[in-house]
Structure 1
Amino acid sequence: MSTAAVLLTMGLTCALSGGWVALNVRGSAASLERWADSNAELRMHARGELGPAQRRLSARLYRLAGTVIALCGCVFVLGGLLEAA
């Protein structure tokens, strides 16, 4: 498999998935926040702690991470296009 195909595949995957979260399509960043909160609560309950879980990541931080991943995916796509030419 050529390097261009690998870069294009990874770049498009990163750009689409990162863009999906960065733009909060269908509430993806909010659902990631809820998922992390429920996992933190389950971990606390497994340890025997019954208090409220501490929030570590907010939807805004997930959107920021999605933006960074989408931009890196765009760089991979450009690299793949340059490699293919």
Structure 2
Amino acid sequence: MSLATVLLAVGPVALVTGATVALNVRGSADGLERRATGNQQRAMHARGELGPPERVASAQFYRYLAALIAFGGLVLTLGGLLELV
């Protein structure tokens, strides 16, 4: 399997998933924030703590991280296209 095949397989997937979260399509970043809060709350309950959970990461953090992933996917896709030429 050539390098171009790998880059063109991984790059668009990273680009699309990163862009989906970065643009908060269908509330994906908000869902990730709710999931992190719920996991933190379950971990606290397992330890016996009944207070409010600490916020691990906000939706804005997930959007910035996803934008970096989307940019990386774009670089991989362009690298795969250049490898074909």
1:69 aligned residue: 69
Shift of 1:2: 1.0
Identity, % of aligned positions = 54
One-letter amino acid of the structure 1 residue matched with residue 9 of structure 2: T
CA RMSD of the aligned region, Å? 0.5
TM-score, structure 2 normalization = 0.98
TM-score, structure 1 normalization = 0.98
- Over 6 Å off, 4+ runs: none
Structure 2: unaligned runs, 5 residues or longer: none
Measured against aligned partners, the alpha-carbon deviations of 1:28-58 in whole angstroms (never above 9, x if no partner) come to 0000000000000000001111111000200
Shift of 1:7: 0.4
Structure 1 Cα separation of the partners of residues 56 and 45 of structure 2: 17
1:60 aligned residue: 60
Structure 1: unaligned runs, 5 residues or longer: none
